[in-house]
Structure 1
Amino acid sequence: MTFRMSAESQTLPCSRSLADIRAEQSDHLDRLRSRLSDVNMKDLVPLLVARQVLRSHEMGAVYSKVR
């Protein structure tokens, strides 16, 4: 079975090159760095601890169901 595509039809997107992906990741990291430079780390600690506690509790619930 073959598929023919006319000139007017939309072409399928190609996978991006590794260089393009790395450039996009670098751009995202630069934006993240600029946002985090204004954040006080002492403000983040309670949030991160709470997130870890929730994950631990959720995983504990999952493990208790498995047993």
Structure 2
Amino acid sequence: MSSADSQTLPCSRSLADIRAEQSDQLDRLRSRLSDVNMRDLVPLLVARHVLRSHEMGAVYSKVPFGRI
């Protein structure tokens, strides 16, 4: 028996295990979001979008035309 035979490869998780974990994570997220007021969340999301747009605009302004 060679040394390669004695080494075991880690098993990948089953699809059922992955789905169960995702379900648990979604349940936790759902419970957190049930306490959030959408009126409080929207300005934050808009601010993130504006910040990303501004950052990308700055990136594109530094790249010579036709180089993207």
TM-score with structure 1 length normalisation?
0.74
Against the structure 1 CA distance between its residues 63 and 11, is the aligned structure 2 distance closer, same or farther, given a 3 Å change threshold? same
Q: Which runs of 5+ in 2 are unaligned?
A: 64-68
Deviation at 1:21, TM superposition (A): 1.2
Q: CA–CA distance in 2 between the matches of 1:28 and 1:54?
A: 28
How far is the alpha carbon of 1:7 from its aligned partner? 13
Moved over 4 A (4+): 6-12
> What is the CA RMSD across the aligned residues, in angstroms?
2.6
Deviation at 1:13, TM superposition (A): 2.6
Q: How many residues align?
A: 61
How far apart are the structure 2 equivalents of 1:53 and 1:25?
30
* C-alpha distance in 2 between matches for 1:62 and 1:19: 43
TM-score normalised to the size of structure 2?
A: 0.73
Supply the distance in 2 between the matched residues of 1:30 and 1:9 (Cα, whole angstroms). Answer: 41
Q: Deviations over 1:6-65 (max 9, x none)?
A: 899995432212221111111100000001101110000110000000111111112112
User: Which structure has the higher relative contact order (CA within 8 Å, separation 6+)?
Assistant: 1
